[in-house]
Amino acid sequence: MAGRRVEVDGGIMEGGGQILRVSTALSCLLGLPLRVQKIRAGRSTPGLRPQHLSGLEMIRDLCDGQLEGAEIGSTEIIFTPEKIKGGIHTADTKTAGSVCLLMQVSMPCVLFAASPSELRLKGGTNAEMAPQVDYTVMVFKPIVEKFGFQFNCDIKMRGYYPKGGGEVIVRMSPVKQLNPINLTDRGSVTKIYGRAFVAGVLPFKVAKDMAAAAVRCIRKEIRDLYVNIQPVQEPKDQAYGNGNGIIIIAETSTGCLFAGSSLGKRGVNADKVGIDAAEMLLANLRNGGTVDEYLQDQLIIFMALASGVSRIKTGPVTLHTQTAIHFAEQLAKAKFTVKKSEDEEDALKDTYIIECQGIGMTNPNL
């Protein structure tokens, strides 16, 4: 199965955990032995952190592969994948490391397993520098399912920075192959909704204040739509530790979804958290794309694996997206083009079409 080893420079482009996630997932899927060097070379704490390590170990376990150099602080790993198997797979960051990033690395792999999988992911569900689990469920899930598969995401326990302690269970069945997607027609915004949460010792008033500030901010720009942001007190038995935050979703007539989100930090008042999320959502809507800036890079690996041509329309192409494209081309040999959108409505906007000729990966087990 294994050909010659692929060499990846972990210090280029995004230069962080994302290179590791994309390259190990593709290595696992394609049966390519992999060496990644200079892992997180430019970061303030170089090398593997606990969340990267738990992701690597999960990928190793779900294909009975071999992993060398996998320890905290290591800047080089060698991974030799074997056959992907279904069943129950557990990953625990032991920190507030993101369960959503664990899902990002493992999901493409288990789609091509021999049998259904259950991923038990532990860590932060609503943590900085990563999608909130609500984003994964409300935005990522309905869009990624357009590739022709379904998954179930059960939030058992929410966990926040710095303690973590959250748990999410993802269940999915394998597919024969993935369908390409075409997301180029944005339509018009038809509804805006969201949730503002507090957990632990934080007073419910904080949730109400975040929601109210976000609604006021959105109303300045979008006057004709009812904005429904629910303040939520997370039940004590479903949240570990203290946290607050907000996610706001805009849905369009063609089923596109955009989000803005923000998390509370010590010393930041509730209004500011709400306004940050609202401004992020409004900025994503102004760009004219069919996906927001956080979804674009998450779709690249699926576009690369699909059989046929996929197209998505985006705002400015992020460094994460450029990085995902680079490694999907290097490892999977998919072909991507990124062109300025030629649609009239996009003339004054920074809008692009990302097109991919997928490799038509088929599941050898089905």
Question: Which helix (H) or strand (E) is 153 found in, with range?
Answer: strand 151-159
What's the token pair of residue 135?
A: 């984003």
Among 67, 77, 78, 66, smallest CA distance to 40 is for 77
- 320 counts as catalytic: yes
Q: Hey, is 342 helix, strand or coil?
A: coil
Rounded to 5°, the CA angle 203-204-210 comes to 105
Q: Is 132 annotated as a binding residue?
A: no
190 CB-side CA count, 13 A: 9
Q: Is 257 annotated as a binding residue?
A: no
Interatomic CA distance for residues 207 and 197, integer angstroms = 5
Q: Is 53 annotated as a binding residue?
A: no
Q: Is 296 annotated as a binding residue?
A: yes
DSSP output for 30-51: HT--EEEESTTTTSSS-S--HH
Interatomic CA distance for residues 291 and 351, integer angstroms = 11
Tokens 């080089």 correspond to 76
* Active-site residue identified among 52, 89, 320, 326: 320
Phi, psi of 362 (to 5 degrees): -115, 150
Q: Is 104 annotated as a binding residue?
A: yes
Interatomic CA distance for residues 320 and 350, integer angstroms = 17
Contact status, residue 150 vs residue 120, Cβ threshold 8 Å: no
Residue type, 50: P
Cα separations (Å) of 120 from 47, 116, 117, 249, 302? Answer: 25, 13, 10, 26, 22
Interatomic CA distance for residues 144 and 133, integer angstroms = 15
Q: Annotated binding site: which residue ranges?
A: 104, 294-298
Q: Annotated binding site for ATP: which residue ranges?
A: 104, 294-298
Task: Supply the residues annotated as catalytic.
Answer: 320
